Amino acid sequence: MRTFHRELGRVAMRAREYAVATYSGFKVGAALMTASGKVYTGCNVESSSYGLTLCAERVALFKAISDGERKFKAIAIATDAAVPTPPCGACRQVLSDLAGNIEVITMNTENTLAVHRLNKLLPHAFTARHLGLRRTKKSR
């Protein structure tokens, strides 16, 4: 485990404090590191219509994408669950599509940390090739 894993986890833990988890009470923070080392944070923001809720991972990723970032190194996800919590299926798919096979760092408030590669969390991911599309460098 590298030093930046724990530090990125701490940044995610701070982002978690801004979560709006009115309905579930499950606060999540995320910290996404770009290839150049810049970090974008996100927290979950819930709606009474759960389908409109945004997860912390997607908030961080969309912030980075909207700032022009396209290459990523790792994402840390922080919760207060007893076991470090990996991203949900929707977040795994979006991360796979837009961030590639990045490192996924999960951390809880007890400082328990786990590190995975995204392709281990989402084996056999649905990709553009399944649609018959070719991925170009410009689209990434």
**Annotated active-site positions, please?**
57
Question: Which residues, 6+ apart, have CB-to-CB distance to 76 below 8 Å?
Answer: 5, 8, 9, 11, 12, 30, 31, 33, 105, 106, 107
Which stretches within the chain are classed as H helix? 3-16, 56-66, 89-99, 118-121
